[in-house]
Amino acid sequence: MNSTVFAPWDDPQAKPLIQFKNVTKRFGGFTAIDNLSLDIFEREFFALLGPSGCGKTTMMRMLAGFEQPSEGTILLSGQDIAPVPPNKRAVNMMFQSYALFPHLNVWDNIAFGLRRDNMPKHDLEDRVEEMLRLTRLEKFARRKPHQISGGQRQRVALARSLAKAPKLLLLDEPLGALDKKLRQDTQFELMDIQEKTGTTFVIVTHDQEEAMTVASRVAVMDQGKLMQVATPDRIYENPNSVYVADFIGDVNIIQGRATSTGEDTYRIDWAEGQPPLTATSANHFSDGQTCHLAIRPEKVTISAERPADAVNAVQGKVHDIAYLGNLSTYYVELSNGIIIKAQTANTRRISRRSFTWEDPVWLSWTATAAVLLAD
């Protein structure tokens, strides 16, 4: 492993900053977090990703101190934080609604936390100015929150939560209220600030693109459980379950039965009248075991003739085309009614598109393109 790559999660010597140990949280009869264990390391940009109601916000509120775990412990730098109230934790939070104090101007909002620490006046002013510079808000220091734009408010919230130099910064859907273009710019700004300050960030989001862009590691959650915790590329390329494969990005899922044909190579029989597919997998499947083949649309090649060297090739006709500008997704219907998506980059002008509706086409992919997943 290259030592310059930031990957403390692969280093058994590294001490995690945060440890969830068998944490369970119940609200009445509802289990929001179900016996969950997780390590988050210093300087990480960690994303909790999942659909609404999956428990990601509860995780964050437990870290901030607004909720107590029903069972299990949460350690921050090795210390159990359960008895520490929110105002005594070296953890700050950026709220989804930003929660800026409407009666205070931008400057006073940022200074709010520092004043509670009785910081000397001179240091306090320096710190606030530094935060204003970091978030490029110098010009708006005297404005009230309702006099600035949504993007500026978001930056005030960030500056305010960073002002106290917390060990850990929690971001609850920080970009949810911004429009797409601004959100993309802000994502890079967030990463930049995270790098500059060296603070550990934990971000909660339901937007997988956002999680993939900003995070060093992503935890995909569902119904109070962690489905997979890994770097964005591993989550995308090597999902460990159908749920994760389906949740992250676009995917074709083909159900079939696996038969071993060699070392790590399997034949998948998946439909009457269709040729069997070939896939490789490091995981072992017994003969006849039900399996799911997950193939990303961009790894499927679309062509008019059957490619001579294709390991997997199926024939169908173009059912629909989704034109996204830079990409086109072809929905190809096979003879047995199954639809498979294939994505191509639009490197040519649309008027010179090779395929159109109802065209007979071949879809092909390599043996390693697909991920073989157990039921």
- What is the closest distance, in whole angstroms, from the C-beta atom of residue 51 to another protein in the complex? 22
- What is the closest distance, in whole angstroms, from the C-beta atom of residue 303 to another protein in the complex? 54
Cβ proximity to another protein: between 165 and 313 the closer is 165
Which strand (E) or helix (H) includes residue 110? helix 106-116
> What contacts 48, CB < 8 A, 6 or more positions away?
56, 59, 60, 202, 203, 204, 205, 219, 221
- Dump the DSSP string for 207-245: -HHHHHHH-SEEEEEETTEEEEEE-HHHHHHS-SSHHHH
- What is the closest distance, in whole angstroms, from the C-beta atom of residue 210 to another protein in the complex? 21
The total of other beta-carbon atoms located within 10 Å of residue 57's CB is: 19
- Dump the DSSP string for 23-73: EEEEETTEEEEEEEEEEE-TT-EEEEE-STTSSHHHHHHHHHTSS--SEEE
Cβ proximity to another protein: between 99 and 367 the closer is 99
Contact 57, 203 (CB under 8 A): no
Strand, helix or coil for residue 158: helix
Cβ proximity to another protein: between 96 and 280 the closer is 96
Cβ proximity to another protein: between 200 and 328 the closer is 200
> What distance in Å separates the CA atoms of residue 150 and residue 314, rounded to the nearest whole number?
49
> What distance in Å separates the CA atoms of residue 75 and residue 196, rounded to the nearest whole number?
25
> What distance in Å separates the CA atoms of residue 4 and residue 18, rounded to the nearest whole number?
23
- What is the closest distance, in whole angstroms, from the C-beta atom of residue 103 to another protein in the complex? 5
- What is the closest distance, in whole angstroms, from the C-beta atom of residue 43 to another protein in the complex? 21
- What is the closest distance, in whole angstroms, from the C-beta atom of residue 156 to another protein in the complex? 12
Cβ proximity to another protein: between 64 and 230 the closer is 64
Cβ proximity to another protein: between 87 and 356 the closer is 87
Cβ proximity to another protein: between 87 and 286 the closer is 87
Cβ proximity to another protein: between 106 and 361 the closer is 106
- What is the closest distance, in whole angstroms, from the C-beta atom of residue 163 to another protein in the complex? 8
> What distance in Å separates the CA atoms of residue 243 and residue 249, rounded to the nearest whole number?
11
- What is the closest distance, in whole angstroms, from the C-beta atom of residue 188 to another protein in the complex? 26
> What distance in Å separates the CA atoms of residue 87 and residue 18, rounded to the nearest whole number?
18
> What distance in Å separates the CA atoms of residue 338 and residue 336, rounded to the nearest whole number?
6
Cβ proximity to another protein: between 92 and 328 the closer is 92
**8-state DSSP, 152:** H
- What is the closest distance, in whole angstroms, from the C-beta atom of residue 57 to another protein in the complex? 12
> What distance in Å separates the CA atoms of residue 152 and residue 155, rounded to the nearest whole number?
5
Residues that bind another protein in the complex, under the rule CB under 8 A = 64-66, 85-88, 91-93, 95-97, 99, 101-103, 112-113, 116-117, 146, 160-161, 164
> Going edge to edge, which strands form the sheet with 71-76?
30-40, 18-27, 71-76, 79-80
